[in-house]
Amino acid sequence: MRDRMWASVQAAQDEICAGLAALEGADFEQTSWERPGGGGGRSRLIQDGHVIEKGGVNVSAVHGELGQDAAKAMSARGVDTSDRRFFATGLSLVIHPVNPFAPTVHANYRYFELGAGNAPAAWWFGGGADLTPSYLFEEDAVHFHRVLKELCDRHDPAFHARFKAWCDDYFFVKHRGEARGLGGIFYDDLHDRPAPQLAALAEDGLRSFLPGYLPILERRKGTPYTEAQRIWQRIRRGRYVEFNLVWDRGTHFGLRTDARVESVLMSLPLNAMWVTGHEPESGSPEADIVAILKAPRDWV
């Protein structure tokens, strides 16, 4: 399973980067890195592009022995961490477009083990994808969620409702009382059926990224915008930063495992703003997106 998932995320990285690079008209820059305690990865980045302001598509396969805090951060359900030998592999991506009408997107699919590789004491899968726009276009939200529902339905018709609710609950900026975005799907600590079935779910999720996101980016990348709309985009990206640094378990885990810091923090936008006391005008498109973030809806 270690070899299968490592091969799968590398192949997905190549496919996703090729699709995004074709739209951008420029290649990702790659950095290969090694983790001091074992393993490594390759990080790919586009920055200051015509379409993508900042985008990263990273893969890694790391192993060794975790500290107690990192072991606790690794699993939400509190698995036995008496044996802290671990293996983790996955793909993580975040795309922050230039155009404020084009949404930020995040996806992450991963596989974990604790204990010896030939007989792990615990193993599980995690994954999902979610959309974070600064402005609401219902057709974009419906398309993105429909692709994810079709993905889930191919594996278990019960998955979508479960994973959609899990996403809404997880990607919530608690100190702001609002969701990070329009959601998608999210699952973690999944080990309720044979590993090959869950690996197939993760691999299908990786393949579903481009069909779910590229049509939206193509639609919105050339939309005219004003400087005021760019400022609103930066304010919303400030909220993105707050969630990732304060609440995201993946960020906390990465920083506790001696992973490459630039790769762990790849999800942070190139530009963000914090404006004290800023409130959107009632009835404005900016107010519309905030209202949705405070009351997540079902899109499909």
Question: What are the phi and psi torsion angles at 216 (to 5°)?
Answer: -70, -45
Q: Which two tokens stand for residue 263?
A: 């790769």
Name the burial class of residue 12, with classes exposed (0-12), middle (13-18) and buried (19+) by CB atoms within 10 angstroms of its CB: buried
Question: What are the phi and psi torsion angles at 220 (to 5°)?
Answer: -100, -15
Distance CA 50, CA 26 (A): 9
Please say whether the beta carbons of 197 and 177 come within 8 A.
no
56's enclosing H/E stretch is strand 52-65
Specify the pairing of strand 172-173 against strand 178-179.
antiparallel
Three-state SS letters, 137-151: CHHHHHHHHHHHHHH
Q: Within 13 Å and on the Cβ side, how many CA atoms surround 231?
A: 8
- Residue closest to 173 by CA, chosen among 23, 296, 83, 81: 296
Please say whether the beta carbons of 107 and 117 come within 8 A.
no
| Catalytic residue from among 106, 143, 160, 252 | 106
Sign of CA dihedral 225, 231, 235, 238: positive
Is 252 part of the annotated catalytic residue set? no
Token look-up 């010896």 returns 116
Alpha carbon separation from 295 to 88, 101, 168, 286, 298 (Å, rounded): 34, 21, 10, 15, 10
Indicate which residues carry an active-site annotation: 106
